[in-house]
Structure 1
Amino acid sequence: MSEPTNVFQQARKHVKTGNLSFLTKQVTEWKKLTQLIQPLLPQPEHWQVACYEYGVLTITGENQAMISQLGYLQKQYISQLSQLDELKALQKIHVRLRVKTRPDNKPIQTLKQITPATQDMLRNAASFVSDPKLSQALLRLASNKT
């Protein structure tokens, strides 16, 4: 079996620029790989290539069930993906959970004021509750203090 080639081996031809050009090339290659593998992996999921080095493809997904499925069926996916020219040396797939991101990173809106009617209901509920901690929490909520 031949040694896998490191596609991202840095050439010493360029002047050092803090490895920015090298990292940019890596990210570009991983984006291309992401587009290639996306339709071949379990759906519906938005897979992303995080790394491909020494025959190990590291990809991320947001759905734990899809990640588990890919992990269990890894051998079948390796045989399918290794037919692509870019992944001929593929030997193993590492699948990691990616944290879901909210669109536009907008802050979650919180309710600032409780209506007077709701405050009265909370105070009345607090008077009926026998648990002192719960009663105190309801009173705090009714007074809009956190």
Structure 2
Amino acid sequence: MSEPKNVFQYTRQHIKTGNLSFLTKQVANWQKLTELIQPLLPKPEQWQVVCYQYGILTITGENQAMISQLGYLQKQYISQLSQIEELKELQKIQVRLRTRTQSEINPIKTAKQLSPATREMLQNAASYVNDPKLSQALLRLASNKK
């Protein structure tokens, strides 16, 4: 078996330009690999390549069930993925749980202004409703107060 090629090996060029160019190249390669593997892995998970080195592909996902499925069926996925030219040296898949950031969990909501016609309809509806709490809620909604 041939020795796996390390596509992320540090070269003299990187010593001159610093780590930024090296890291930028790594991230670009991982993004390319992510696009290549996504259609072949279990759906609906959004897989993300975080490393590919020495024949070991490390990917992340947010769904524990999908991660477990990929782990159990690793041999089948390795045989599929190793047909891709960039992954022909693939020997092992490591799967890690990726946590969502706070901004993904609770996106910032922007308040939309109601049109004057909508406000008027809400105020009219509030006057027809017999339930005082519902009427008050409709009036609050019409005024855009929380």
Using the size of structure 2 for normalisation, the TM-score is 0.69
Do the aligned residues in 1 keep the contact of 2:14 with 2:21 (CA within 8 Å)? no
Q: What is residue 115 of structure 1 aligned with on the other side?
A: none
Q: Return the letter of the residue paired with 1:97.
A: L
- Count of aligned pairs between the two proteins: 109
* 2:33 match: 33
Q: By how many angstroms is 1:56 displaced?
A: 0.2
Which stretches in structure 2 are left out of the alignment for 5+ residues? 110-146
**Counterpart-to-counterpart distance in 2, 1:62 and 1:22:** 27
Q: Report what 2:2 is aligned to.
A: 2
Q: Which whole-Å deviations, capped at 9, do the CAs of 1:96-135 have from their partners, x for residues lacking one?
A: 0000233396469xxxxxxxxxxxxxxxxxxxxxxxxxxx
Counterpart-to-counterpart distance in 2, 1:105 and 1:9: 39
Q: Note the aligned Cα RMSD (angstroms).
A: 2.0
Distance 2:15 2:106 in 1: 37
Partners of 1:93 and 1:104 lie apart in 2 by 28
Do 2:45 and 2:61's aligned partners in 1 also have CA atoms closer than 8 Å?
Answer: yes
Q: Against the structure 1 CA distance between its residues 21 and 107, is the aligned structure 2 distance closer, same or farther, given a 3 Å change threshold?
A: same
Task: Provide runs of 4+ in structure 1 moved above 6 Å.
Answer: none
2: CA distance, partners of 1:105 / 1:8: 36
- Percent identity over the alignment is 76
Q: Normalising by structure 1, what TM-score? A: 0.69
